[in-house]
Amino acid sequence: FIQNIGTGTVCDLAWGAKVQGYSKRELNDPLVSAQLWIIIRVEHDEYTIRNAMSCTYMDIQASAKLHFDWFATRAKPSKNMSSKLARWTIRRNNNKTAYLTSTWLAGTYHSLCMMGTENGTKIQIWEGIGPSTNHQLQLWHVVRA
């Protein structure tokens, strides 16, 4: 699970189509694999994050930089693991929480939208200051299943 520090919700791949925040499911729930992620180091400090249910990779929209709308770009699934859009760095801070950074858009981070605790809250790419932030919507725990 990739669980948000501020809300306790986890990254969920809804219908194989969008990454969203959702209440953490129990391991015996038939839909739990939509919330399970396989984090694979691909080179140096870069990782891919693959969903266990759909086998697609967490990605960001390729058009984000071109349209200068990356401040609210959603994380989404992709089948292309070699794309820089599907590469992330994971930085830990002193509190042992993780900060997911896009390797494609410098200075952008994985963030839960607007303190949303509701199921279906979008997870987006946002600007931030790095792992030293106290912005809990940008801090995550990686939780073993």
- Give, for all 145 residues of the chain, the pLDDT tens digit: 999 988 999 999 887 777 888 999 999 999 999 999 999 998 888 888 889 998 888 876 644 443 333 344 455 556 666 677 778 888 887 777 777 777 666 666 667 776 667 888 877 777 777 667 777 888 888 899 8
Tokens representing 15 are 């219908």
Total number of residues shown for the chain: 145
φ and ψ of 143, to 5 deg: -110, 125
Contact 105, 13 (CB under 8 A): no
pLDDT of residue 66: 33
pLDDT of residue 52: 93
Domains and CATH numbers, the chain: 2-142 (2.80.10.50)
Contact 60, 85 (CB under 8 A): yes
Distance CA 79, CA 130 (A): 28
Contact 3, 141 (CB under 8 A): yes
Sign of CA dihedral 21, 109, 48, 97: negative
